[in-house]
Structure 1
């Protein structure tokens, strides 16, 4: 899932999908970092006991697919990028229980330099999964993801310099752990160099010896150079604050069943929020409408991440089955829908969604089915402002589905990162099919329009796809402000 949180752009540039000017095999660099773990509750002691902040050395291996040379004015792709961090297990033993499955997300700050100028990029949403070693083996957190492209407006060598690294690691039975890391003192932090040759008669806009004046970075102009945070054609997420954590009982009825009676532990969870945007089809009308339109005023989904964990032993394989449960609350804005009614009549309407508490469960079946992600909730549709061929159709103030219907969306999770969904921290694509019930309350002035809407809309196999962005957690000071994910593909399919 492409991140649009922030892109690094130098010399009058825009970030886009990009392409590599000359294909190169992936190149890796190994960097030395110093990390710090904050004070945290001690799970093995009394509830009021705490662990002191810890400092530890880390080795970070960054793999990119940058070209050796690029062309001024054309986007340069660096990814998919891999960030592998090796942390000493001894410092983490009390925070991350041995043998438990871990989900993690990495955010790496990158400074882009060219011709004495520089701009900041954020490589966020890099995600991974692993198990906490049961013995003295160091913990290896491998993260993979796409990152924004880079475009420069003039010839001159580009340098990418690694900056601060933030790691968010969550286990099944404990609170998430955040490690904030910086390049070790005196260490070489250069990630890569890319040559941008000049054509005939071209000269760099600024000599390498000239320095960027204060205040001329991060979106400000200097000597005709503009640094912008992302593709102007892509939606931007507003600088907003997450709401309160949702509360309630997770609905795990749609998750794969455990192999035996599970042990369920309640956790405090942590506050987070994320944008989720998508498409919903109406099969009878052979069309789709945008849900939580990123180009309008999208709503944030508030999340209580990891409020419950269940585990069980498989009596046949003796392997451990696990499930993480999180809660979400999303008050969707109205959607504008336009269809050709019965294949020939233009019909437009505003559709409102009354959405109940969302349960997001991820886990591993430990068998051929592999890991899974499932989100489920109940929803009611309301319709107003209906126009048929431009003429208003009076539908009244309470045109809605007769009852709430269940929405269940599923995603795949693969260890190699190829699945549609990663975890509740990093998000991803979830799809499913719903059956829309019959309509009631439609009509005004004694006219009953319920049969019309039921015939035009109600029925099975209506595909919904929602793309969730990585979460922002003010509580953990991670991933904020929230970023806007791209819409799912227009050609939808679902299990």
Structure 2
């Protein structure tokens, strides 16, 4: 949540609830499973009106309305005329163009900067009385922030996942929310969360799925086999299955974590604060990152977004602390606390150990409760974001020059170590991390302890891993995507986070 400089900030922020976090939209246009070119239509374009929210400044009043930008979005893709049941339907390459007012972004994106950008689009897939949500996060683009003019044009392109339906009936694809993360060459990433305008037609595409004894485009009878029977077709896309498929209003967040936030790494209040407990909100978000091993001069990917990343479950805004000026009674220092739980998948990495021996390893990270604190240290200034938790590193397996090392089952750091990450802020309210809801980039350095339990059959490999990994000043950079908060109906399904840059601010 935003850092708030008033006694009523925590309650006011809850009244605002959560900003719309876009996750959204599979786009339109599908190719039949046979890949027949005869059934293609000419490229189709959908022109949509969106309303985008600019991230609030870190020192903004909790009751201040966010700035909104009217945004025109055009989506172009190749559509099929018809599709058949039980066959993956694959769209051709998709292009998207977002046109935003330049004036609204001038304070966040420096003029003349090269911009790299990622878009997460979404769609509700409907067939008959059934529907499902799809998330599509593979649209990338580059542009330049114009020096003048009325608009910023952000182009995107990418591939989309396939769709499979198991019954006849027209398929409709309806546009949902939209998230744009724009990174200037000389500044911090900016995430815009967008919702379709009230008067916009959300229909992206309509594809016929005939009933009866369908034939595939081109005249070949469709296979009677189901999606998993006798077929080599890819099943990595979205499947719209009557009775079995999740409905659009279902999300993937797990149970809310419980526990007491660790505020030991947050700024110390000048006087004993007034503590406020709150129900807060439940949600989830993706957080991905890079961990650099200083001795190896290399990094490993944490929670790889290109594989099967884990979600962090969040209890947001459950505690607040405010300090009043003893002379005036005005609140001038505050802190908002949240907690999270993140069970990370194993990470694969390869280094040149000691500069010449190639070492590959599978590494597991066991995390304790994640504490997230944001606040201001003086009347809305001195904004900060601090995330802290304890972690133990387990090395599951390792190879040197392709030869497995006999590690055993308990090769790990000899004790849990603290990780503390901080988000940077500027006096004008901009920075790398906005709040728990919008997320952003957090960085820090950690001291990795010595290793223990490494080796079997009397062979002690602890000194090898301690010498090559353990030590101070190992850089950690984590990028948190905006939060999905199911109880408020905002930002779901959760948007995928992007990996931090290799060089962080």
**TM-score range normalised by the length of the shorter chain:** 0.5 to 0.7
What per-residue deviation string (whole Å, max 9, x for no partner) do you get for residues 281-330 of structure 1?
A: 00000000010111222111110111101111245895521111000001
Distance 2:424 2:445 in 1: 16
Return the structure number with greater relative CO, CA threshold 8 A, min gap 6: 2
Work out which of the residue numbers 364, 368, 393 in structure 1 matches 2:376. 364
Distance 1:463 1:312 in 2: 33
Work out which of the residue numbers 392, 396, 419 in structure 1 matches 2:431. 419
CA contact (8 A) 1:163 1:183 kept: no
**1:478 and 2:498 correspond:** no
What per-residue deviation string (whole Å, max 9, x for no partner) do you get for residues 440-472 of structure 1?
A: 111111111111111100001101111111111
**1:178 equivalent in structure 2:** none
CA contact (8 A) 1:30 1:60 kept: no
CA contact (8 A) 2:331 2:379 kept: no
After superposition, residues 94-493 of structure 1 pair within 5 angstroms as 149=156, 189=199, 240-315=251-326, 318-366=330-378, 370-413=382-425, 418-489=430-501, 491-493=502-504
Distance 2:322 2:475 in 1: 32
TM-score (norm 2): 0.56
Change (3 A) 1:363 1:123: farther
What per-residue deviation string (whole Å, max 9, x for no partner) do you get for residues 144-170 of structure 1?
A: x9998489xxxxxxxxx99999xxxxx
Distance 1:8 1:146 in 2: 21
Work out which of the residue numbers 65, 69, 78 in structure 2 matches 1:62. 69
Give the drift of 1:259. 2.6
CA contact (8 A) 1:4 1:485 kept: no
Gaps of at least 5 residues in structure 1 are 14-27, 32-57, 85-106, 112-119, 125-144, 152-160, 166-180, 192-210, 217-222, 224-234
**1:42 equivalent in structure 2:** none
CA contact (8 A) 2:479 2:500 kept: yes
Secondary structure, in 3 states, of the residue corresponding to 1:336? strand
Distance 1:395 1:110 in 2: 47
Secondary structure, in 3 states, of the residue corresponding to 1:422? strand
CA contact (8 A) 2:51 2:197 kept: no
Secondary structure, in 3 states, of the residue corresponding to 1:78? strand
Give the drift of 1:30. 10
Give the drift of 1:367. 6.2
What per-residue deviation string (whole Å, max 9, x for no partner) do you get for residues 20-63 of structure 1?
A: xxxxxxxx9999xxxxxxxxxxxxxxxxxxxxxxxxxx999534
**1:78 equivalent in structure 2:** 98
CA contact (8 A) 1:64 1:82 kept: no
RMSD of the alignment, in Å?
4.8
Give the drift of 1:344. 0.5
TM-score (norm 1): 0.57
Distance 1:148 1:477 in 2: 29
Give the drift of 1:401. 0.7
Give the drift of 1:480. 1.2
Count how many residue pairs are aligned between Structure 1 and Structure 2: 341
Distance 2:153 2:311 in 1: 23
Gaps of at least 5 residues in structure 2 are 1-20, 32-48, 53-64, 79-92, 105-119, 125-132, 138-151, 159-173, 179-194, 211-216, 218-236, 239-245
Distance 1:487 1:150 in 2: 19
